Amino acid sequence: MRKKLTRSRFHRMIGGVCGGIAEYFGLDPTLVRIAYVVLSIISVAFPGILVYILAWIIIPSDSYY
């Protein structure tokens, strides 16, 4: 079975982007969120908010209702 990258329905804080990435790679969603925030803070060239909003728009939602 092929995995698809989707926004998480269960591990959602704001848009489910970090939760979906964690589910795709089999990681803990909290660790992915912490890594994302740390990367956004320490890297001047990484506009974290903009990338998150774009990912929220581009990555489809988990459609298993």
H-helix segments, the chain: 17-25, 29-42, 48-58
Would you tell me how many other CB atoms lie within 10 Å of the CB of residue 62? 18
19-62 residue pLDDT tens: 899 999 999 999 999 998 888 888 876 688 888 889 999 988 87
pLDDT, position 26: 92
**What pTM was computed for the model?**
0.80
The span from the CA of 45 to the CA of 51, in Å, is: 11
pLDDT, position 46: 67
CA 55 and chain centroid, separation: 8
Encoded tokens for 8: 């998480």
